[in-house]
């Protein structure tokens, strides 16, 4: 059964692979389409990685990767977010107009809806008939699930970065100052909550406290920098591409080297310097890993119609697959021990199906909020089209006049 999943996974990766040819490159390797496809691949890798937590034998036969590799995927999403913001900001003069509505609400609305559904699911699965309705509703738990939910660190951290980006680029002009301030606020996000690592019982209850929640943080800033200096960086890489390609192809070695020769430092006795060591190690490792993959995709492009499809609802897949796995981890749906892999095979596809449907619902809700802006964009488009038609008609009239003369 696992071998079937393994086969399907690697077919998905290598189906439709395109080689650019000697001396040529895929110049669109950082385009929205290609990055969305890679994000789709990363999202299902996260899903399978979380299935590995229940059955470590999945990892042995499916991925053949050691523990800790999953930290790379959220970092890639952070990079894409930072890169996408910077590229859009450079291309569109009015990009920051309605930014809160367009960008932050597009994350916040799916997140709040997900938290509400999760809250209802928790009540239905843990309802105690011996307690009153108010006790079962547990409003304190609802507040925690929405605003302090530690497994949603990625979403809440991303919203904060979006706010920093909007405020700094809206009111400041000096790019170097902006980068410096974003970096400072990045450190503050980490410093303040992680200052209390002594009581692990309390530690696990609060957002951004656990050390692994910050192993992707610097990737957002890295994405901003790549987006800002993209042309010069790509030109430099192309100049020495085959040297970079040799180095990039060795990325599994880098991962093993980091794990074996630079071990994690213990966080006992509140040694803060140890935390910073681990933080720096994993941020550098994540940046190195997906940079290597992106360099390879300049020559060998990983993209197909299935990855394009999966890339449309990566946010929903991140939000909803834990809800589906939670149901299948309980005895609500019973499977015999010998059919345990069927259990996770089914939950995998139900997670994707459910996420895709929730993406459709989220799109409707976001569309309602951005209704006025969509009308403005539609009117702009109509005006531009009319201008083009008028210009075309004027050109035809001039041609007719010359022919008549």
- The pLDDT-based confidence of 83 (bands split at 50, 70, 90) is very high
HSE at residue 130, side-chain half, CA atoms within 13 A, is 0
Q: Is the pLDDT of residue 335 over 70?
A: no
How does strand 300-301 pair with strand 18-19? antiparallel
94-145 pLDDT per residue, tens: 888 888 888 888 888 888 888 888 877 777 777 677 777 776 677 766 776 6
Whether pLDDT at 368 is above 60: yes
Greater confidence (207 vs 370) lies with 370
Note the pLDDT of residue 200: 46
pLDDT of residue 175: 79
Alpha helices for 66-174 (secondary structure H): 72-91, 99, 105-126, 133-137, 139-147, 153-171
pLDDT for the residue numbered 199 = 46
Which of 178-182, 217-221, 228-232 is predicted least confidently?
A: 178-182
CA angle in degrees (0–180, nearest 5) for 329-335-339? 110
Share of the chain above pLDDT 70, in %: 70
Using the Cα atoms of residue 142, residue 148, residue 151 and residue 157 in order, give the sign of their dihedral. positive
Q: Of 151, 80, 82, 139, give the one whose Cα is nearest residue 114.
A: 151
The span from the CA of 182 to the CA of 215, in Å, is 17
Tell me, what's the pLDDT at 80? 92
In tens, the pLDDT along 6-60 reads 677 777 778 888 888 888 888 888 888 889 988 988 888 888 777 776 665 555 5
pLDDT at 79 over 90: yes
Rounded-to-integer distance, Cα 73 and Cα 80, Å: 11
User: What is each CA distance from 234 to 175, 176, 185, 252, in whole angstroms?
Assistant: 20, 21, 28, 23
The C-alpha angle 107, 82, 233, rounded to 5 degrees, equals 160
pTM of the model: 0.80
At 198 the pLDDT is 46
Looking at residues 251-265, what average pLDDT do you find?
75
Q: How far apart are CA 288 and CA 283, in angstroms?
A: 9
Distance CA 386, CA 190 (A): 52
- Model pLDDT, residue 115: 82
What's the Cα-to-Cα distance from 236 to each of 229, 232, 285, 305, rounded to whole Å? 11, 6, 22, 31
For the chain, domain boundaries: 65-301
Cβ atoms 30, 304 nearer than 8 A: no
pLDDT of residue 384: 43
What is residue 11's predicted lDDT score, i.e. its pLDDT? 79
User: Of 387 and 31, which is predicted with more confidence?
Assistant: 31
Residue with token string 């991925």: 63
Q: What is the DSSP letter of 29?
A: T
What are the pLDDT digits (tens) for 156-201? 788 888 888 888 888 888 878 888 888 787 777 666 555 555 444 4
| Greater model confidence, 153 or 236 | 236
> For the residues 320-333, what does the mean pLDDT come to?
74
Alpha carbon distances (Å) from 143 to 39, 121, 147, 148, 155:
30, 15, 6, 7, 16
Confidence at 236, pLDDT banded by 50, 70, 90: very high
- If residue 301 lies in a helix (H) or strand (E), which one and from where to where? strand 300-301
Q: What is the pLDDT of residue 367?
A: 84
Contact present, 195 and 141 (Cβ < 8 Å): no
Tokens of 228: 């800002």
First to last CA, the chain: 80
* pLDDT tens digits along 267-285: 655 556 777 777 788 888 8
- How far apart are alpha carbons 354 and 316 in whole angstroms? 9
Average pLDDT, the chain: 76
pLDDT value of position 46: 82
C-alpha 375/C-alpha 385 separation (Å) is: 15
């Amino acid at each position: 059964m696992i071998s079937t999943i393994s086969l399907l996974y690697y077919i998905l990766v290598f189906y439709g692979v395109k080689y650019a040819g000697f001396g040529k490159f895929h110049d669109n390797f950082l385009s929205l389409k290609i990055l969305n496809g890679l994000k789709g691949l990363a999202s299902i890798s996260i899903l399978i990685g979380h299935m590995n937590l229940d059955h470590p034998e999945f990892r042995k036969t499916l991925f053949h990767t050691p523990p800790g590799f999953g930290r790379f995927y959220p970092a890639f999403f952070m990079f894409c977010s930072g890169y996408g913001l910077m590229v859009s900001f450079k291309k569109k003069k009015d990009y920051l107009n309605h930014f809160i509505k367009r960008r932050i609400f597009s994350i916040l609305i799916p997140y709040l809806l997900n938290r509400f559904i999760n809250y209802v699911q928790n009540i239905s699965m843990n309802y105690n008939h011996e307690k009153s309705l108010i006790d079962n509703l547990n409003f304190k738990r609802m507040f925690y699930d929405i605003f302090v939910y530690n497994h949603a660190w990625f979403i809440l951290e991303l919203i904060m970065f979006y706010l920093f980006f909007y405020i700094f680029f809206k009111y400041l002009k000096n790019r170097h100052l902006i980068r410096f301030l974003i970096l400072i606020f990045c450190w503050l996000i980490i410093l303040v909550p992680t200052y209390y690592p002594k009581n692990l019982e309390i530690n696990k209850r609060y957002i951004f406290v656990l050390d692994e929640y910050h192993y992707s943080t610097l990737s957002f800033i890295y994405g901003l920098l790549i987006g800002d200096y993209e042309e010069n960086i790509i030109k430099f890489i192309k100049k020495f591409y085959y040297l970079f390609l040799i180095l990039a192809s060795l990325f599994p070695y880098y991962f093993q080297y980091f794990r074996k020769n630079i071990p994690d430092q213990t966080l006992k006795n509140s040694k803060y310097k140890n935390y910073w060591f681990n933080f720096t190690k994993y941020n550098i490792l994540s940046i190195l890993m997906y940079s290597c993959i992106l360099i390879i995709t300049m020559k060998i492009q990983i993209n197909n119609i299935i990855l394009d499809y999966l890339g449309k609802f990566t946010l929903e897949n991140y939000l909803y697959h834990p809800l589906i796995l939670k149901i299948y981890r309980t005895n609500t749906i019973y499977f015999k021990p010998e059919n345990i892999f069927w259990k996770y095979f089914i939950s995998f596809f139900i997670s994707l199906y459910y996420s895709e449907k929730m993406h459709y619902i989220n799109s409707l809700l976001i569309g309602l909020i951005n209704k006025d802006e969509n009308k403005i964009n539609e009117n702009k488009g109509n005006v531009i089209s009319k201008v083009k038609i008028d210009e075309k008609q004027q050109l035809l009239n001039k041609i007719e006049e010359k022919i008549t003369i």
